[in-house]
Amino acid sequence: MIRFNIAQWRAWAPGLVSADDWLRWSREPRPLTDDDAAPDVSFLPAMQRRRLGRLARMAFSVGWPLAEGHDSLPLVFVCRHGETPRTFDILSELAAGQPLSPTQFSLSVHNSVIGLWSILRGSTAEMTALAAAGDGLEQGMLEAAALLAEGAPAVLLIVCEEQPAPAYADWIDDVPFPYAVGLLLTPGDDWQLSPGQTKAEAEPCHWPHAVDLLRCLLTRQPHCHHAWKNRVWTWQRIH
Amino acid sequence: MSDQHPDLNLEIKRLIIDALGLEDITPEDIGNDQTLFGEGLGLDSVDALELGLAIQKRYGIKIDADAKDTRTHFSNVTSLAAFVTAKQAA
């Protein structure tokens, strides 16, 4: 069982940018159509944002405003599938016997997004990139709670997934639409997260866990349950 | 010297912008004799590799990354145009 505060949040999905957009969606959740649009990151100079792929733009657009004013802010970056469009492009070039783009290759590791974050923010705070399964939000929250327990005044948690390349559609079924959720976590007792277990495999959450937590937060639900395989996580609002 | 290959200069500027994803930059923003790497336009070592690959693909020429004069050829648009012209004539 861990306790913490969610001091601020930011989220992005196709057509959902502002807090009001998300509040409306939370009251009537529905599938979103991906329009291939990437969020605005014009707060970065053009020379700096040229290497940011769509996933990085999503992560930066939610994380950057949350990080403002924090000198040394640890970051936990959670993404299960990574930049699959980039991976697919690189593999296609390899299959065709073409030389690989050095830029694409240099960005083809899971922690490239936090690497870019570190360079562009000039931050040497502790950063972690996790690729967990369906309960990446909760695994990332555990990591963040450990950093808070070690004395960090705040931790930034970013959970994001990009629309997978069409070639992977048969295997990736947990990304209904691209999304990024940023949570600025601080020490406190507002929220409690507890792990639990079920014998049988429980019904999975209808929305990605991070998006569902936001829905729960915005509609002021007292708690929500996120089941993944035989694990059931309970998020509970204490205050 | 700078205007020796006006069409090729423009083509190379477009290649630089496309290959390196330089948002908000137009060919007019890049001077023929402007230094491309480090100070000047501000490109870095990954850009150098990417631009080398783009030039090899576009003009079908081989670039030796270890050759001493490669650095000179890549110093600005004028020197790149001269290099491409010389390689294509060879």
Residue in A46, A47, A101 nearest the CB of B50: A101
Kindly state whether residue B38 falls inside one of the protein's structural domains. yes
Q: Which two structure tokens, joined as six digits, stand for A172?
A: 């990736």
- Decide if A48 touches B, using CB distance below 8 A: no
What's the CA gap between B26 and B28, in Å, rounded? 5
Mean pLDDT, chain B, whole residue set: 90
Place B62 in a pLDDT band, splitting at 50, 70 and 90.
confident
- Asked if the structure places residue B41 within a domain, the reply is yes
CA distance A211 to A6: 14
Establish if B1 belongs to a structural domain. Answer: no
The residues that bridge with A159 in the sheet, in sequence order, are: A78, A181
Gap between the Cα atoms of A114 and A67, Å rounded: 13
| Nearest CB partner across the interface for A50, out of B20, B49, B57 | B20
| Numbered residues of chain B with Cβ closer than 8 Å to any chain A Cβ | 20-25, 42, 46-47, 49-50, 53, 56-57
Predicted local confidence at residue B40, as pLDDT: 84
Is residue B2 over pLDDT 70? Answer: no
Q: Which residue has the tokens 């014009």?
A: A42
Which domain range does residue B10 map to?
6-22+29-89
Residue B31 pLDDT exceeds 90 = yes
* Confidence check: pLDDT of A38 > 70: yes
- Which of A49, A99, A103 shows the shortest C-beta gap to B23? A49
In this structure, which amino acid lies at residue A69?
Answer: G
Residue of B nearest to A49 (CA): B23
- pLDDT, residue B64, reads 83
CA distance A236 to A234: 6
Q: What is the mean pLDDT of residues A169-194?
A: 96
The correct answer on CATH 3.40.50.300 for the domain covering A2-190+207-223 is no
List CB contacts (< 8 A) between B21 and chain A. Answer: 50-51, 103
Q: DSSP state, A42?
A: T
- Name chain A contacts of B51, Cβ cutoff 8 Å: none
**Contact between chains at A103 and B20 (C-beta distance less than 8 A):** yes
Q: Identify whether the C-beta of residue A73 lies closer than 8 Å to the C-beta of residue A124.
A: no
Mean pLDDT of chain A: 95
For A57: left if phi > 0, alpha if psi spans -120 to 50, otherwise beta; the answer is: alpha
Whole-number percent of chain A with pLDDT over 70: 100
Average pLDDT rounded to a whole number, residues A219-227: 95
The predicted pLDDT at position B23 comes to 82
Query: Which CATH number covers residue B77?
Result: 1.10.1200.10
Size of interface A-B (CB pairs under 8 A): 28
> Total domain count for chain B?
1
- The C-alpha atoms of residue A52 and residue B24 are separated, in whole angstroms, by 15
* Mean pLDDT, rounded, for A21-29: 97
Delimit the domains of chain A by residue range.
Answer: 2-190+207-223
Judged by DSSP in three states, A44 sits in: coil
In a domain, B33, yes or no: yes
Please list the alpha-helical segments (H only) found in chain A: 19-27, 46-49, 54-67, 84-95, 102-106, 112-121, 136-149, 209-218
For residue B23, give the nearest of A46, A101, A102 by CB distance.
Answer: A46
Here the tokens at position B57 are 């693909």
Q: Is a pLDDT exceeding 90 seen at residue A129?
A: yes
Angstrom distance (rounded) from CA A138 to CA A237: 15
Calpha distance B76→A171 (Å, rounded): 47
Average pLDDT over residues A100-121: 95
Assess whether pLDDT exceeds 60 at residue B19.
yes
Of the pLDDT bands very low, low, confident and very high (cuts 50, 70, 90), residue A47 is confident
Instruction: Provide the pLDDT confidence category of residue B38 given band limits of 50, 70 and 90.
Output: confident
> Among the listed ranges A7-16, A182-191, A230-239, which one has the minimum average pLDDT value?
A230-239
The two three-digit tokens of residue A102, written as one number: 């050095």
Select the residue from A41, A43, A50 to test the B interface by mutation, using most B Cβ atoms within 10 A.
A50
Strand, coil or helix: A64 = helix
Cα–Cα distance measured from residue A233 to residue A141, given in angstroms and rounded to the nearest whole number: 11
- Nearest chain B CA: its distance from A97 CA (Å): 13
Cβ atoms of A160 and A183 within 8 Å: the answer is no
**Residue A13 carries which DSSP code?**
B
Q: Are B22 and A99 a contacting pair at CB < 8 A? A: no
The predicted pLDDT at position B5 comes to 78
Cα–Cα dist A24/A217, whole Å: 13
Residue-level pLDDT at A202: 78
Query: pLDDT at position B3, please?
Result: 62
How does DSSP classify residue A168?
G
Q: So what's the pLDDT on residue A201?
A: 76
Average pLDDT of A49-59?
94
Closest to A63 in 3D by CA, of A155, A193, A175: A155
Tens of pLDDT, residues A58-92: 999 999 999 999 989 999 999 999 999 999 999 99
pLDDT higher than 80, residue B47? yes
